[in-house]
């Protein structure tokens, strides 16, 4: 017996949908099935990363990158002529 499914809407750029359609066509499955497969694989990968304690590392990395971008855009962080990262107080 097939499980009940819920429908969700995701907005994607047309160029990306074309790429997905090509993969689905190559595999002989529908775009919908391809997306289900991708989401299930991504979920499984996320659970593995969580069990390995990598979520906190990824969150820290995202926060660090955001802070660096903010620092660069405000001039509080800069890269000198030797390629070294410097800060202004």
pLDDT higher than threshold 90 for residue 3? no
Q: What is the pLDDT of residue 2?
A: 79
Nearest to 17 by CA among 31, 33, 28: 31
DSSP string, the chain: -PPP---------HHHHHHHHHHHHHHT--HHHHHHHHHHHHHHHHHHHHHTTHHHHHHHHHHHHHHHHHHHHHTSEEE-TTS-EEE--
- Whether the per-residue pLDDT at 89 is higher than 90: the answer is no
* CA dihedral (43, 46, 50, 55) positive or negative: negative
* The pLDDT of residue 18: 98
Q: In this predicted model, what pLDDT tens digit does every residue of 27-59 receive, in sequence order?
A: 999 999 999 999 999 999 999 989 998 888 888
């Amino acid at each position: 017996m097939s499980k009940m499914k819920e429908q969700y809407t995701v907005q994607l750029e047309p160029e990306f949908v074309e790429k997905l359609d090509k993969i689905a066509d190559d595999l002989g499955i529908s775009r919908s099935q391809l997306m289900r497969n991708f989401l299930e694989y991504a979920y499984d990968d996320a659970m593995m990363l969580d069990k390995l304690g990598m979520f906190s590392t990824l969150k820290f990395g995202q926060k660090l990158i955001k802070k660096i971008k903010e620092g660069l855009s405000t001039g509080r962080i800069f890269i000198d002529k030797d390629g070294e990262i410097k800060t202004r107080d």
